[in-house]
Structure 1
Amino acid sequence: MTDTTDKPTRHLLGLSGGKDSSALAIYLRDRVPEMEYFFADTGAELPETLEYVDLLEDYLGKPIVKLNAERDFEYYLKLNGNFLPTTKTRWCTSELKIRPFEEYVGNDDAITYVAIRADEAHRKGYLSTKPNISARYPFIEDGKNKEDIMDILEQSGLGMPGYYDWGRSRSGCYFCFFQQKVEWVHLAEKYPELFAKAKEYEQRHKEEGRMQTWSQGEYLEDIWARRAKILEEAAQRKREESKKHKKKLIDVVNPDEIPCLHCFL
């Protein structure tokens, strides 16, 4: 067993390629100079996510440690009997986010900084339960909300991740099962090769007699077939939301289907 008695407490910030964790890294860069940054690469990231992490690394002026160099999604898919992850069985989060993080920390005492904002303090994170790892929530402590996060990104010169430009609402794997159906349509339009690859996973399941799909209750080929209706419904929702205050995600989805913070902050 490694002796950690004389080791200083490590300060860690995990990056997802999303706006909140990126803003937190910028916010804490000079406040916590000993911070270690890491990014758990699943091997299924959007190109814009990887590009944004590289830009952030330049801004921070220190390396962002890349986890999962040899064990990506395909590795754990085989390990899990080729069963696709779902909102109920999130083995992708446990295997590709939490496990590599805990291995990276080891037995060292560590503080992990989590990018939950003050305006979403009700959210619950899927965090490590190891006793040597504790969590802090700087945005909650300092009362920073979504508007503050946007200001941090704009003032840094980085701005928002590029996937927002074509209709994606969050970071995460290109085939993430938390995507809205309209986001699947946008993915097919922007990256048809990734959409096709996601369909191949579904087809593999279908050939083995399984009914599992990425988007609940509907195959991707069916989503694409009715894309015009999906786009129109999304546009209608956007028009309606502009007339009233937009509900928070926590208010409109099943609590069991709230995206894991490791993937989307």
Structure 2
Amino acid sequence: MSVVSEKHVLGLSGGKDSAALAVYMRQHHPELDIEYFFTDTGKELPEVYEFLGRLEGFLGKAILRLNPDRDFDFWLKQYNSFLPSPQTRWCTRQLKLRPFEQWLRPILEEGSTVYSYVAIRADEEYREGYSSKHDRLKIVLPFKEAGIDKPGVHDILDASGLGLPRYYDWRSRSGCTFCFYQQKIEWVRLKEQHPEAFEEAKSYEKDAVAHGSPFTWSQGESLDEMIQPERVRQIKKDYEKRLERMKAKRRQNPLRDDDETFDIDELYGQAKACLACHK
């Protein structure tokens, strides 16, 4: 009887949770030959690529790049210049999930069992987005099993010497520079940190509106409207108020540093995002 082979894979987004899981698996399960992969849209933040490079150094092995055969601009034309949105997340489907499925299909068809390790934390719901559509694709949630929560993720990255990706200084998520899940304060900061990426997002938005798209990148206003000086001041003021309220509500934990960071989505009460991009 032939022995069915096994393959172990772990997807990296450039975000803190998946990076911490890679560190955790390297430290706690060195017997597993895990293949780490990153699905590159070509529109990622430069800080993402820098962080992935440092993570490769820690892991001691290369991170496989699953570049889609057709880039964002190709798919934008296929969707008649309509921007992706929370209602029509074609970017995740075509630029993240499709390359992953194409990579695994021949491996599964040859009879191998694939174990995919996903960075859902113990303090999170197991949200839709990583459900397996194949009986030999097994989803494994090590953080859930080990009871590792958000502070635990920070501890893992700090102890490894990697720390957080540098974009966490001004933004809560990885993924494309123009992700529609960004909060308005993140758009303002994108203009400040990477003005060329902001201008590219503006050009996509203007073209989409000209083609009749019902969506702008940020719900309710265009990027041009958002960066008017008075509007920028209002967005920053709102952010500071939310931050102060969150700090006042936070229970002090003597075992944690007082400077624990808040994800921007926590401040705005929205945690939904494309898990393939943001974990």
8 A contact 1:153–1:160 mirrored in 2: yes
Per the TM alignment, residue 190 of structure 1 is displaced from its structure 2 partner at its CA by 0.6
8 A contact 1:250–1:258 mirrored in 2: no
Aligned equivalent of 1:92: 91
8 A contact 1:16–1:172 mirrored in 2: yes
Aligned equivalent of 1:194: 197
8 A contact 1:41–1:72 mirrored in 2: no
- Using the alignment, how far apart are the partners of 1:155 and 1:62 within structure 2? 19
- Using the alignment, how far apart are the partners of 2:168 and 2:266 within structure 1? 17
RMSD: 2.0
Per the TM alignment, residue 56 of structure 1 is displaced from its structure 2 partner at its CA by 0.6
8 A contact 2:81–2:211 mirrored in 1: no
Aligned equivalent of 2:41: 42
- Letter in structure 2 aligned against 1:213: T
Q: What does 1:37-116 correspond to in 2, within 5 Å?
A: 37-68=36-67, 70-106=69-105, 107=108, 108-116=112-120
Aligned equivalent of 1:14: 11
Give the one of 236, 240, 243 matched to 1:235: 240
8 A contact 1:202–1:214 mirrored in 2: yes
CA separation of 1:190 and 1:209: change in aligned 2, threshold 3 A: same
- 1:96-130 per-residue CA deviation (whole Å, 9 max, x = no partner) reads 1111111111224201101011111x140302423
Give the one of 191, 210, 225 matched to 1:207: 210
CA separation of 1:130 and 1:80: change in aligned 2, threshold 3 A: farther
Three-state SS of the structure 2 residue aligned to 1:112 is strand
- Using the alignment, how far apart are the partners of 1:193 and 1:115 within structure 2? 32
- Letter in structure 1 aligned against 2:275: L
Per the TM alignment, residue 39 of structure 1 is displaced from its structure 2 partner at its CA by 0.1
- 1:143-178 per-residue CA deviation (whole Å, 9 max, x = no partner) reads 11111111110111111001012x101111100000
Runs in 1 of length 4+ with deviation above 3 angstroms? 245-251
- Using the alignment, how far apart are the partners of 1:151 and 1:54 within structure 2? 20
8 A contact 2:246–2:267 mirrored in 1: no
Structure 2 residues without counterparts, runs of 5 or longer: 251-261
- 1:18-45 per-residue CA deviation (whole Å, 9 max, x = no partner) reads 0000000000014053101000001100
Per the TM alignment, residue 82 of structure 1 is displaced from its structure 2 partner at its CA by 2.0
Three-state SS of the structure 2 residue aligned to 1:151 is helix
8 A contact 1:118–1:143 mirrored in 2: yes
CA separation of 1:201 and 1:102: change in aligned 2, threshold 3 A: same
- Using the alignment, how far apart are the partners of 1:175 and 1:6 within structure 2? 46
- Letter in structure 2 aligned against 1:174: T
- Using the alignment, how far apart are the partners of 2:128 and 2:63 within structure 1? 22
CA separation of 1:250 and 1:67: change in aligned 2, threshold 3 A: farther
Three-state SS of the structure 1 residue aligned to 2:48 is helix
8 A contact 1:125–1:260 mirrored in 2: no
Question: What's the TM-score once normalised by structure 2's chain length?
Answer: 0.86
CA separation of 1:236 and 1:250: change in aligned 2, threshold 3 A: closer
Per the TM alignment, residue 210 of structure 1 is displaced from its structure 2 partner at its CA by 2.8
Aligned equivalent of 1:124: 127
- 1:174-207 per-residue CA deviation (whole Å, 9 max, x = no partner) reads 0000000000000001111100000001110122
- Using the alignment, how far apart are the partners of 2:4 and 2:46 within structure 1? 37
CA separation of 1:7 and 1:72: change in aligned 2, threshold 3 A: farther
- Using the alignment, how far apart are the partners of 1:44 and 1:76 within structure 2? 13
